[in-house]
């Protein structure tokens, strides 16, 4: 076998296996409401099955066994012999981690690797599988004759409907859409492209001046100079495009970060025996690579804190549901990236912070008494205060809230605290310049024009196709189990609805931070990638605007402040 062929095979093997590991993790922790539990089981089963095939083709017996054991468990779950408890989940995730390590080590050594933990993990998985009925073993479901149990034909039918809905397999699709590039090469490219822009600007200036001073030159000489200047202008434009394209390479999707945060939340919850309900929003957004890197550790720390210290122990949650809610959401405001980390736990104990501040002689008693609650809360960002902010825990952690604060300040960002005793704590982080274009639905029949970020749009339907219901003068639309009141978008934004267009009336369904909103709009919609700027002082007084941009035709477009929609709706009702 040729070395080239073997090299190719290793590269493909590593990329595909790691992708399947990631999708296992995603499906295990996924909170994607659109995927039914059945579909999720199917996808998980397929991912483990693919891992088994890949491992088998490389002769990695231990990984084959791990994947096979996972497959058995999911087979049993798929057939209803077993339900996926959090213990089983963590067994599966442990197996996924081990397989990932096996892949990386094997690829590095170019021979099947053995690592610690495989055997005990395998035993654990086998025990889980044995715990379900013996009939749950997929292999023993059927004898060699062709009789097919009814429940399995249903599985096949489910697979078939998957196809008709046109859902593409994420793993395969993405393997062709993304390439891995060494980060050094990228940095180099950014630098070169930046230099090119600067040099082109100097050159353009010189020729521009030269072309203006043509008096002493012969006619064809000055003609040549003008020609050079014109050509250079074209090249400069191309360089600008190139630079924009290169800048775009700096942006990375936030899903990797979101995955790590999700993982940390569940791991921490398991470690401290708490039940959590985790919601992650906006992970499909992209942000600057360097900024994401700087934010990763602080965010991981904050999520750990939220679960470990923010949430009460299950017994101490009083009237609140046993499972603590943790919400992580990414959104955009103008060119800034906003991150919200929120829990419904005990809230910051301001009195306790005040006491500690006085005990540690950070403040005199009278200073401390003059400070407002919100000033007190911000003390947790002071160096040396971080352990004190972990009011119920004696164990220190590597990174404290002071480091979180410093990293965010380094990026020119801000962090705010909103905390209510007994109700929970929310940290809002804003980092400027982290984001670039945002895919939007543009409502051009409004004056001024408004744009809605596509990521919050569930669907746009013509009102004629929809069944709506009138109750007490309010029109409602159904979506899944929700009854959503329909709002006129021009009323909400205080804009004018141009009714000249003959296009039908549309209902636009939005899903923001766990809430649905239905907007009624009349006119055409367009789709555009827009770059928003922070609204200026005058515009920021408008209620529903969180960004502005100007189109090629010099029209102003306002970004609908979807993140504040729920607030607006409540104020009005």
Partner 1 sequence: MSLAETKKVLIVDDSKMMRVLLARVVKSDPSFEVAGEADNGQAAIDLLSETSIDLVLLDIEMPVMNGVEALRQIRLKHDIKVIVVSSLAQVASVQAAEVKQLGVDGIVDKPGGALDPSLAATKGQELISLMREVTGLN
d(Cα 544, Cα 489) in Å, to the nearest integer? 11
- Residue 187 structure tokens: 């940095």
In the numeric block, which tokens belong to residue 72? 């058995």
Nearer to partner 1 by Cβ, of 75 and 282: the residue is 75
**Distance of CA 242 to CAs 249, 325, 556, Å?**
11, 45, 26
**CB-wise, 4 or 467, nearer to partner 1?**
4
Least distance CB 515 / partner 1 (angstroms): 32
Nearest Cα residue to 462 out of 430, 509, 415 = 509
Q: Any idea what DSSP says for residue 533? A: B
Q: Minimum distance between the CB of residue 6 and partner 1, rounded to whole angstroms?
A: 5
Shortest distance, CB of residue 47 to partner 1, whole angstroms?
Answer: 10
Counts of helices then strands in the chain (DSSP H, E): 18, 20
List Cα–Cα distances, 171 to 28, 75, 106, 134, 174, in angstroms.
15, 20, 21, 32, 5
CB of 141 to partner 1, least distance (A): 6
Complex with partner 1: residue 153 or 375, whichever CB lies closer: 153
Give every CB contact of residue 326 below 8 A, 6+ residues apart in sequence: 265, 276, 277, 278, 279, 303, 306, 307, 310, 311, 341, 342, 343
Q: Which is nearer to partner 1, 170 or 448 (CB)?
A: 170
Where on the phi/psi map is residue 466: left (φ > 0), alpha (ψ -120 to 50), or beta? Answer: beta
37-57 and 86-109 helices, crossing angle to 10°: 30
Nearer to partner 1, 165 or 573 (CB): 165
Task: Work out how close the CB of 153 gets to partner 1 at its nearest, in angstroms, rounded to a whole number.
Answer: 9
Q: Which CB atom, from 2 or from 554, has the smaller least distance to partner 1?
A: 2
Helix (H) or strand (E) holding 403, with range, is: helix 401-410
What does the DSSP assignment read for 160-195? HHHHHTTPPPHHHHHHHH-----HHHHHHHHHHHHH
Smallest separation, CB 65 to partner 1 (Å): 13
Q: Which helix (H) or strand (E) holds 77?
A: helix 61-78
Q: CB of 490 within 8 A of CB of 543?
A: no
Q: Residue 61 Cβ, how far from partner 1 at the closest point, in Å?
A: 11
Indicate the residue among 146 and 394 with the shorter CB distance to partner 1.
146
Question: CB 171 → partner 1: shortest distance, Å?
Answer: 7
Judged by the rule CB under 8 A, the positions of this chain that interact with partner 1 are 1, 5-6, 8-10, 12-13, 16, 43, 45-46, 49-50, 52-54, 56-59, 110-112, 138-139, 141-149, 152, 156, 159-160, 162-163, 167-172, 175
Min separation Cβ 103 and partner 1, Å = 12
Distance CA 438, CA 443 (A): 15
Half-sphere exposure of 246 (CA within 13 A, CB side): 19
Rounded least distance, CB 118 to partner 1, Å: 18
Based on CB atoms, which residue is closest to partner 1, 163 or 553?
163
CB of 13 to partner 1, least distance (A): 5
| E strand residue ranges, 222-323 | 251-253, 276-281, 286-288
Cβ proximity to partner 1: between 106 and 548 the closer is 106
The Cα 460–Cα 506 span in angstroms is: 7
Beta carbon nearer to partner 1, 58 or 431: 58
Nearer to partner 1, 68 or 250 (CB): 68
Q: What's the min distance (Å) between Cβ of 175 and partner 1?
A: 7
Helices (H), ranges, 439-555: 489-493
Q: Residue 1: CA atoms inside 13 Å, Cβ hemisphere, count?
A: 7
- 158 vs 189, beta carbon nearer partner 1: 158
């Amino acid at each position: 076998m040729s070395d080239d062929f073997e090299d190719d095979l290793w590269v493909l093997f590593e990329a595909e296996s790691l992708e399947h590991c990631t999708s296992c993790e995603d499906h295990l922790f996924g909170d994607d409401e659109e995927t039914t539990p059945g579909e999720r089981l199917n996808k998980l089963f397929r991912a483990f099955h693919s891992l088994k095939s890949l491992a088998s083709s490389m002769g990695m017996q231990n990984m084959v066994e791990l994947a096979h054991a996972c497959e058995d468990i999911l087979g049993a779950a798929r057939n209803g012999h077993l339900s996926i408890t959090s213990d089983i989940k963590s067994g599966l995730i442990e197996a996924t981690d081990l397989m990932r390590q096996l892949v990386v080590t094997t690829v590095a050594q170019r021979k099947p690797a053995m690592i610690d933990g495989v055997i005990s993990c395998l035993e654990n998985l086998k025990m889980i599988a044995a715990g379900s009925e013996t009939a749950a073993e997929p292999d023993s479901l059927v004898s060699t004759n062709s009789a097919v149990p009814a429940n399995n034909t249903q599985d096949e039918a489910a697979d078939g409907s998957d196809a008709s809905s046109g859902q593409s397999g994420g793993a395969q699709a993405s393997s062709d859409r993304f390439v891995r590039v060494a980060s050094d090469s990228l940095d180099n490219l950014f630098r070169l492209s930046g230099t090119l822009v600067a040099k082109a600007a100097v050159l353009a200036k010189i020729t521009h001046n030269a072309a203006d001073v043509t008096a002493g030159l012969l006619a064809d000489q000055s003609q040549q100079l003008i020609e050079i200047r014109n050509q250079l202008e074209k090249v400069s434009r191309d360089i600008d495009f190139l630079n924009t394209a290169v800048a775009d390479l700096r942006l990375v999707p936030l899903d990797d970060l979101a995955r790590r945060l999700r993982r940390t939340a569940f791991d921490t919850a398991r470690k401290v025996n708490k039940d959590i309900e985790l919601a992650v929003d906006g992970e499909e957004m992209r942000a600057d690579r360097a900024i994401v890197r700087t934010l990763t550790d602080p965010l991981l720390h904050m999520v750990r804190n939220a679960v470990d210290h923010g949430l009460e122990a299950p017994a101490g949650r009083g009237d609140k549901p046993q499972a603590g809610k943790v919400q992580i959401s990414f959104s955009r405001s103008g060119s800034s990236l906003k991150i919200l980390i929120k829990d419904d736990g005990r809230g910051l104990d301001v009195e306790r912070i005040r006491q500690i501040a006085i005990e540690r002689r950070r403040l005199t008693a009278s200073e401390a008494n003059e400070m407002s609650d919100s000033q007190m809360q911000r003390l947790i960002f002071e160096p040396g205060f971080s352990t004190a902010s972990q009011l119920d825990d004696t164990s220190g952690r590597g990174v404290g809230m002071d480091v979180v604060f410093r990293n965010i300040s380094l990026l020119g960002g801000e962090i705010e605290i909103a905390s209510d005793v007994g109700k929970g704590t929310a940290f809002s982080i804003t980092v400027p310049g982290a984001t670039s274009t945002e895919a939007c639905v543009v409502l051009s029949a409004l004056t001024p024009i408004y744009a809605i970020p596509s990521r919050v749009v569930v669907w746009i339907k013509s009102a004629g196709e929809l069944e709506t219901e009138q109750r007490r003068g309010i029109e409602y639309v159904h979506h899944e189990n929700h009854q959503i009141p329909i709002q006129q978008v021009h009323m909400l934004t205080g804009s004018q609805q141009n009714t000249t267009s003959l296009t039908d009336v549309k209902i636009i369904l939005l899903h923001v931070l766990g809430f649905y909103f239905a907007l009624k709009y009349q006119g055409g919609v367009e789709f555009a990638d827009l770059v928003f700027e922070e609204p200026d002082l005058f515009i920021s007084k408008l209620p529903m605007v969180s960004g502005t941009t100007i189109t090629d035709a010099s029209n102003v477009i306002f970004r609908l402040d979807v993140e504040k929609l729920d607030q607006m709706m409540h104020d009005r009702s």
